[in-house]
Amino acid sequence: MSIPDVADLTLEEKASLTSGVSFWHTKPVERVGVPAVMVTDGPHGLRKQREGGDHLGIGDSVPATCFPPAVGLGSSWDVDLVRRVGEALGTETSIENVAVLLGPGINIKRSPLCGRNFEYLSEDPIVSGVLGAAIVQGIQSKGVGTSLKHFAANNQENDRMRSSSDVDPRPLREIYLRGFQRVVEDAQPWTVMCSYNRINGVYASEDPWLLTRVLRDEWGFEGLVVSDWGAVNERVPGLAAGMDLEMPSSNGVTDAQIVAAVQDGSLDESVVDVAAGRVLDLVRKATAGAGAVAGPLDVDAHHALAREAAGRSIVLLKNDGAVLPLAKDAKIAVIGEFAEKPRYQGAGSSMINPTRVDTALDEIRSLATGDVAYAQGFSNALEVSDDEASALRDEAVGAASVADVAVLFLGLPARLESEGYDRDDIDLPPAQLALVDAVRAANQNTVVVLSNGGVVALPFAEHVPAILETWLLGQAGGGGTADVLFGEVNPSAKLTETIPVRLEDTPAFLDFPGEFSHTRYGEGLFVGYRWYDARRLEVVFPFGHGLSYTTFSYTDAAAQVDADGDVEVTVAVTNTGDRAGREVVQVYTSLAGSSVQCAPRELKAFASVALEPGESQVVTLTVRRQDLAYWDIRADRWVVEGGEYTIDVAASSRDIRSSAAVAVEGDVLTLPLSRTSSMGEVLSHPVAGPVVQAAIAQMMGGLGDSAASIMPEGVDMSKMMESFPIGRIGMMGALAGDGAAAGPEMIDGLLAMANAGGAPQQ
């Protein structure tokens, strides 16, 4: 099918392409043969709704594989696994003749209270960007598109349709935009979805700085910007800003506004041409990719992949005394409603109608050869009487007391985590905490298995020997959990977010969710582990932490700068245990004495390495030069600071196994000088510095004994002068009795000479 060019369309037809025809379809232009194409929700499964279905329900969605949501899959830290899941998502999208799967979501987990954290990958932009790119590449390899979301600084659900994320330039660039930049530059998603919120007072849907200057001019984005559903504030300014496609349908209202704006001269028709052209490009890609994958869907194969991904997403937080893996012939008490009624995905637009659902209880029984008893332990119902709660707890204690091991399934009820609102706290329900104490008292061999979409406090962490963080694992999570419990799968996942001791310790505690539709990002750069490390705060489990049923050793790391300016880091990793396993090798960097504020260390690269017992492998990781850069607010650009960087190779952000040093050449940054430039800035300038140094010496000599009379012994005059504006140096000349020595004309001449790059006059 040949798709016409913009020039073949009337103004009205071009305007019509910039909004949807329905909830899930773009508008056709039948006169010239432009078809409608379908987009639909993801991101961890296909949520294709049948005609007439409720867009927020799942009852009318076609069955699809529900893979682990991002909170789980991200914990794998495995680019290959994530890409394979993306390929499966692309396959199902193609089979159902859907053009674009709306995902992945890569927003930063600024606060554990965000109700939508289960859809996001990490508190770190490198993890989010690298894994986000892998998902996009996997999906788009099947001839369908993705929609990278939610762009940008969309880190809470409270007041999400209008709240302003008030964030300074450095954290905005280095934390909240960096992951998006990585995905755009590495994977070129077909679309980017702008978010509901405002950024520093400007709606994302009508922000030319965000949607054109940054996204297109700086990052080279080639695709289409689509609004989140209902995110358009004012359509004409949004179109001019670079927001191409409004979804869902406006019933033609905003199309007419665009036409009227062109006709009255307030909007140039070329703007409409650009947006309509991008929609046509999307339609071309969709029609070219249509039918790339033939059905029917291999349901069993995709369920098997979902089970593999689930097992690889489970974090072994603790395993004192090697309680895990369980012996298959052990007498096991399985306790907790989640074992029988799993919580495997979050609520809201990402809810998938799964092809089937495994329960942990059934899968444990299928693998066990010994007796497996079950007790509900607690109820997730809204109303539970004290007597009912007590009876459930007593039944659980009875089962635990006669078992070799108690496996206790705890977690957050679905109603506590959802798109559309945030959590009030990070606590497990009181009935579950009481159950932990009671079961632990009855059986010291208690394994806690957690089901939750966001971080929860773990007041019992020191008192139970083993904890599995299973997050939300998708439809095969029950099988994946059983595989890890019995050692069929050796756990290899690691935390992509810190588990704090208290909510009060978290970085955004005093600034979440904000007030009067403004949220101040007062923690700045110090999000997640950066905050806890900088403040030396105790945590329950650190970012990057995760245990295995085997052990790993690291040799001394080495680092060198390659021809492209990237840092190549090598380290040999050995499996020192008796079973095959995977280790996630992490590389963090720091620069002592940096001229800008920065965290003690920052993640810059990682790799998942599979090793047989006794096997060693030399792992090479690349730290991209651009990832060493900070955003210089004076120059409004990225700058790599020169110096000797420390390269930490680690098993977590607080488990450094080996370190190396490497000298990195910095970027040349010469800022124009002005009268408000400090003496320190002027003295460091290659042209102006020597001249000013001589002038200061002359002034100080002129002051003579008067300098000693006003400066106590030991005072460092040079430090005092560092922040002194050069334009006010004349007062020092006046004190010396030589006002002409540093008069305005001399200063202005010096500044002009320095800014022109000239040599000082002799």
CB distance 757 to 687 below 8 Å:
yes
Q: What is the DSSP string of 61-94?
A: BPPB--PPPHHHHGGG--HHHHHHHHHHHHHHHH
Quick one: which H or E segment has residue 583?
A: strand 581-591
Structure tokens at 243: 């927001």
Q: Locate 55 and state its tokens.
A: 């867009």
Name 149's Cβ contacts closer than 8 Å, sequence gap at least 6. Answer: 43, 102, 103, 104, 105, 106, 107, 192, 193, 195, 228
Rounded to whole angstroms, the Cα distance separating 370 from 373 reads 10
Amino acid at 330: A
Question: How far apart are alpha carbons 377 and 436 in whole angstroms?
Answer: 10
- Residue showing tokens 């660039």: 173
Single out the catalytic residue among 41, 159, 207, 228. 228
Angle of CA points 299, 116, 340, to nearest 5°: 50
228 is known as an active-site residue: yes
* Burial readout 130-147 (b: 16 or more C-beta within 10 A, e: otherwise): bbbbbbbbbbbebbbbbb
Contacts of 482 (CB under 8 A, 6+ apart): 360, 363, 364, 366, 367, 488
| DSSP secondary structure code for residue 459 in this structure | T
Distances (CA, A) of 597 to 171, 177, 524, 591, 592: 11, 18, 10, 10, 11
The half-sphere exposure of 389 on its side-chain side, counting CA atoms within 13 A, is 15
Please state whether beta strands 539-541 and 499-500 pair in parallel, antiparallel, or not at all (unpaired). antiparallel
Q: What residues are annotated to the active site?
A: 228
